[in-house]
Structure 1
Amino acid sequence: MRRVLSLGLVTAMAVVGTPLGAFAAVKAPARQGQGQGQGQGQGQGQGQGQGTGSLHGVAQGADRAPLRNYTVRVRSVADGQIAATTTSSQAGDFAFAGLQPGNYVVEVVDAAGKIVGLSPTLGVAAGASLSVTISAAAAGAMAAASA
């Protein structure tokens, strides 16, 4: 089911093509009639609307250059599972919609599968839209500090 949702999100992003780098963390307006799917499957609602939130942002290197075509993942802090995956755009932008309320981290992963950027813990609330900039330099500093 997550693969289907990820594919749908990537397709929607490609169709819409909205630049996302300049957004601030704001509460998104409620959407009517899109709350279908709540309580189905494994107990997680798949519909968008008031019951879910979204994340968007930019992945960049230490020199602030965009990290193009990197894998970007949202990981649930509660259970450690990947909630969604996408690929950054040519501008380093990424977006995730339909996230269940909870705490998440966003990971930027290179082609070798190494996490090169990591967000702080982000609390996603129902109806909220959060923005984050992830720098590869911060991930390198964290790796050096933990070694």
Structure 2
Amino acid sequence: MEIAISLAIFLVGLWWCIKYSQGKAKKSNPISPPTLEDIQKKYPKRKSQEQIRAEALRARQADYDRKLAQRMALQGLRKASESKPTPNKREISVNSFRTLIRMLNGDEATARRLVEANIKSNPEKSPTWACDKAIADLERDRRI
């Protein structure tokens, strides 16, 4: 008898669940599957390690160039692209100077000394030429 009552309660509950779920399914709107655009918005394409490193390198170089330009401006040196060349202005290429500093392991004082020495020995030449000459001299001296 208890089994019959338990079975009846179970069947009523099952009937109620089926009826409720069918009515709910009829009333609600079915969810459309996500489109490719939705998926791409939700899950953007991941960057590779090379891309991440390249972006970081570009950011570091831009920061270094900005700081170097500030230091050069404080000491009276100008970038070659900033103004038209005039005989009175001292202008130097940031890229050449950065290369020279890199070759000297970050020693700016030595880089300036080498450039100034080349300017003193060849006053008719430009500071960019003097910087390039210092780079060439270093490369020549490092050959074995």
Which has the higher Rg, Structure 1 or Structure 2? 2
Give the number of the structure with larger relative contact order, counting CA–CA contacts within 8 Å between residues 6 or more apart: 1
Judge same fold: TM > 0.5, yes or no: no
> Which of the five TM-score ranges fits, normalised by the shorter chain?
under 0.3
